[in-house]
């Protein structure tokens, strides 16, 4: 195995992930992943594919470039990219990850604001007279 490259997307976040043989480092945008994500819930989200498949991170090095969106969207995009990389590593993981819903791209995005409205759907108060 030389290197596995995958892409994950969520909302406006785009993540490129590189998985290669190494010493167990997990780096997002030049920082350790626990330092970058800060929140325990987001760290758990990112680690879910590894826990579900039972893969140990220590023989691999993971490098991530995350752009756009907020930290939650980036974390979910990283989870998708990790799941895709694990499927390339071992095709048997596909059924496990598919059942958990980790291989599906969540396509929900923010609806744009319309003119004449306060927000995307909320209107100003209507007065007939």
Name 63's bridge partners.
18, 27
CATH class, domain 4-100, is alpha beta
DSSP state of 117: B
Q: What is the pLDDT of residue 104?
A: 95
Residues 6+ apart with CB under 8 A from 36: 28, 29
Q: Give the other-Cβ count within 10 Å of 55's Cβ.
A: 16
pTM: 0.91
Per residue in 82-105, pLDDT (tens digit) is 999 999 999 999 999 999 999 999
Alpha-carbon Rg for the chain, nearest whole angstrom, is 18
Instruction: Give the pLDDT means over successive 10-residue stretches in the chain (129 positions).
Output: 93 96 94 94 96 93 96 96 95 95 95 96 93
- 3-class secondary structure per residue, 33-88: HHHHHCCHHHHHHHHHHHHHHCCCCCCEEEEEEEECCCHHHHHHHHHHHHHHHHHH
- 82: tokens are 């990790």
Query: Cα torsion for 5, 7, 73, 82, to the nearest 10°?
Result: -40
């Amino acid at each position: 195995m030389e290197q596995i490259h995958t892409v994950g997307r969520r909302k406006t976040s785009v993540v490129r992930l590189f998985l290669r043989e190494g010493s167990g480092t997990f780096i997002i945008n030049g920082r350790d992943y626990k330092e970058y994500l800060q929140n325990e819930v987001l760290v758990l989200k990112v680690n879910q594919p590894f826990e579900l498949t039972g893969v140990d991170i220590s023989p691999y090095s993971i490098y991530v470039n995350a752009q756009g969106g907020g930290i939650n969207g980036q974390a979910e995009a990283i989870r998708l990219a990790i799941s895709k990389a694990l499927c390339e590593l071992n095709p048997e993981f596909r059924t496990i990850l598919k059942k958990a819903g980790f291989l599906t791209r969540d396509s929900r995005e923010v609806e744009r604001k319309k003119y004449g409205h306060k927000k995307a759907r909320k209107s100003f108060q209507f007065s007939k007279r």
